[in-house]
Amino acid sequence: MTQATTPAPQRPARQGLQLPDYPWDSMAPYLATAARHPDGIVNLSIGTPVDPTPVLIQDALKAASDAPGYPTTHGTPALRQAIVDWFARRRNVPGLNPNDVMPTVGSKELVAWLPLLLGLGKDDVVVRPTVAYPTYDMGAVFAGATAVAADSLDELDAETRARVRLVWVNSPGNPTGMVRSVDSLSEIVAQAREVGAVVASDECYGELGWGAWDPENGGEPVPSVLDPRVTGGSNDGLLAVYSLSKQSNVAGYRAAFVAGDAAIMANLVNSRKHAGMIVPFPVQEAMRAALADDAHVSAQKALYRGRREQLAGALETFGLAIHHSEAGLYLWCTAREDTWSTIGRLAELGIVVGAGTFYGEAGHGFIRVALTGTDERMAAAVARLGANS
């Protein structure tokens, strides 16, 4: 007699992390509406550069295209020196050690992986700005940590504050365009040091200050977290993250870097060697050329300055109120209605903008309008807004 056997229970297939849907997918119907406009779509929803990559950067990439060997994770000595020189010249951060900088494959990947590379886990808290780029939260998810929205550690209860291990600062902010002053940065650094947390400052719009933060028009440079006025003379526990995508029109190159605390940087370099997170050598050479040249940055900023002035006036005429937006590539706006109603009205004009709801609960009611349209498309948007005010 054959003995019956009980089949082994089936284990569910592993399907990976269950992450929220990518928020921009919800823009599809509005993109479709705008695309039907007889004069074509004006897509101001995503801040992707549209102007040509400067020739000097293209030439540097081409000249380095014969690259049969593996590149260095830490970056070539020439690139690291160019980063150090740039920090001293453009960000009021003198005396950085070239060992304490490293190129990254764009800044988004570093934002996403930094909590994991710092060794954070389930008992740890990552603080990010109240209105913020969603990747800060995703980085906490990847590490199994908890993301908390706050603009100051004073907003947290004592138990949460004691668990904070990483504080993200984003100045100039995306999407709000807010800029933290030296005093504000100093305060968050002091709070983080009290609890033993790292401060990572995402500064990728640092060259794009307007008004009081526009040095070319008599303003002050946007401060860096590594500015000695902020650090008190020590970079302990501090990291600055920067991308060349916006200032140099090289988003397609994935060209960025991180700098700061010597011990943290050494560990990051080592971890990234193990993981194979390496910027290709031709891109490293393109970065070196871009960082050594200020003229193309000034020329690109002049284009954005002109577009910003035109678009801001047209949006206000259309009935929108502009909030903050002191720096960066966006105008942070509200109307007397909810976010999606405003997006729908603009889509009927063939204009696509970003939803403030993508940036946290505090973004409800807001829209984000990018300055990254060509002069021709920006003129089209201004004309449509003026005709429907």
Contacts of 251 (CB under 8 A, 6+ apart): 48, 49, 106, 245
* Shared domain check, 349 and 249: no
Query: Can you give the CATH number for the domain in which 234 is found?
Result: 3.40.640.10
User: pLDDT class for 1, splitting at 50, 70, 90?
Assistant: very low
User: pLDDT class for 25, splitting at 50, 70, 90?
Assistant: confident
Which percentage of the chain shows pLDDT scores above 70? 94
With vertex at residue 317, the alpha carbon angle to CA 311 and CA 321, rounded to the nearest 5 degrees, is: 80
* Shared domain check, 138 and 86: yes
* Shared domain check, 324 and 284: no
Averaged over 208-217, what is the pLDDT?
95
pLDDT in tens, 233-245: 999 999 999 999 9
pLDDT for residue 239 = 98
What's the whole-model pTM score?
A: 0.91
Does residue 18 surpass a pLDDT of 70?
no
SS (H, E, C) 167-233: EEEECCCCCCCCCCCHHHHHHHHHHHHHHCCEEEEECCCCCCECHHHCHHHCCCCCCCCCCHHHHCC
Does the residue 13 lie in any domain?
no
Specify which residues 101 forms β-bridges with: 259
* Shared domain check, 268 and 123: yes
Of the three residues 292, 326, 343, the one that is the final residue of a domain is 292
For residue 82, give its domain range: 64-292
pLDDT in tens, 104-160: 999 999 999 999 999 999 999 999 999 998 999 999 999 999 999 999 999 999 999
Q: How many domains does the chain have?
A: 2
Of the three residues 242, 267, 292, the one that is the final residue of a domain is 292
* Shared domain check, 255 and 347: no
* Shared domain check, 246 and 370: no
> Mean pLDDT, the chain, as a whole number?
93
* Shared domain check, 347 and 258: no
Does the residue 287 lie in any domain?
yes
Does residue 6 surpass a pLDDT of 70?
no
Cα 282 to Cα 291: distance, rounded to the nearest angstrom: 14
* Shared domain check, 285 and 302: no
Which percentage of the chain shows pLDDT scores above 90? 89
* Shared domain check, 286 and 171: yes
Does the residue 58 lie in any domain?
no
